[in-house]
Structure 1
């Protein structure tokens, strides 16, 4: 199956995420952990405090941290990760291959940026402080997973954080099933290969967890190393 086929499959099952019984807390703990690794970046230096405030003897107000942009891959329609991402001082953007999922997401948040595209061929427009792919990366074709993962790390800012969930299998493999209704594709490179790729791409592994054991649902958090020029 192609990513476009996966998108069409998800177009037919948006009701699974909009029904009242959907678990809106799914993934929240993983996002909190991943975002905790971001370095603090104050939104303004002390010398940029408005002069009128200083003249009045007022203490500078606490400003929210400004940490750049976040890209949510396979963002779906719930927008449940938007508040936690924005509370970390990030500007949220989402991408999904399902037109119907994005139609629901954009109706709820019309001022936000959403891209309807296949992340494998999508030209990522900027560097991001945070990139996430919650329960979506495994839909990427097996042959495209390694280059896609490298592309994501490459588009992290220095010390940026990548969070994604995957099938933590011992070996690589792929299959389809119809558990949700339509046929949907899944693939995994195997946990060890994911970690090898991430480290080869310049990432530092911060966290690995089989969070739904004995299921092979696996969380990986990686932080991009600071470039040598900036570190010196």
Structure 2
């Protein structure tokens, strides 16, 4: 299945996330942990740069100051439940999803926020981010596109930026579809060792790995971009 087909499948099941019994705390603990690894707030970075002598304000420092403070939520869905915790860390929230209907709900609740309806694999990222997350969405990325996408995301992290995503912590790489939620939906995983090896090669330090729903293979990975 293509990401566009996955988006159309999710268009038919938005009710699963808007019903009262949906657990709005799902994933919050993982976000709290991931955000705790950020070295400083955007404001403290601004203060640090502005406190330098004039000749210390080189172009690189100015670029980092302008870019620091953005967060990208991949497969953001419709609940907006991660927005408050992200913004409480001084970050400017942006969401991206392939489901038109999911985004319509999200935008109706937060009309002043930035949301992109697009396939993140082909979407052109125009800035660097302090924090990038993909909660229960990365496994819908086609298997062949997962490695290139992870490298792309790491490339668009600022120095010391943090990446959080949940994935299938399988032993081997693989892909399949099922109809557990109703429509047919695609899932894929590079395998736990595949993810870790790729992220380390891309210049990341592994901060946290957890099978948070054991014995299910639902896995949290948090990495931080190393400063060269």
Aligned to 1:19: 19
Kept in 1: contact 2:135–2:166 (CA 8 A): yes
In the TM superposition, 1:29-40 aligns within 5 A as 29-40=29-40
Counterparts of 2:49 and 2:227 in 1: how far apart (Å)?
Answer: 26
Q: Which residue of 2 aligns with 1:83?
A: 84
Residues 108-160 of structure 1: per-residue CA shift (max 9 Å, x gap)? 00000000000111111210000000000000000000000111111000000
Q: Which has the larger radius of gyration?
A: 1
Report the structure, 1 or 2, having the larger helix content: 2
Whole-angstrom distance in 1 between the partners of 2:192 and 2:46: 40
**Would you say the 8 A contact 1:67–1:89 is kept in 2?**
no
Map of 1:54 onto structure 2: none
The answer on whether the counterparts of 2:210 and 2:221 sit within 8 Å (CA) in structure 1 is: yes
Q: Does 1:69 align with 2:77?
A: no
Q: What residue number does 2:55 align with? A: none
- Structure 2 unaligned regions, length at least 5: 52-66
TM-score by length of 2: 0.90
Counterpart in the other structure of 2:7: 7
Closer, same or farther: CA 78–47 of 1 in aligned 2, 3 Å: closer
- TM-score, normalised to structure 1's length? 0.88
Identify unmatched segments of 5+ residues in structure 1: 50-65, 228-232
- The CA RMSD measured in Å over matched residues stands at 1.6
Q: C-alpha deviations, 1:5-61, integer Å up to 9, x for none?
A: 000000000000000000000000000000000011416538979xxxxxxxxxxxx
2:219 is paired with a residue of what secondary structure?
strand
Alpha-carbon separation, structure 1, partners of 2:92 and 2:149: 22
Partner of 2:129: 128
Structure 1 runs (4+) greater than 4 angstroms displaced = 46-49
Pair 1:189–1:175, CA change in 2 (3 A): same
1:177-213 Cα deviation digits (max 9, x unpaired): 0011000000001000000110010000000000000
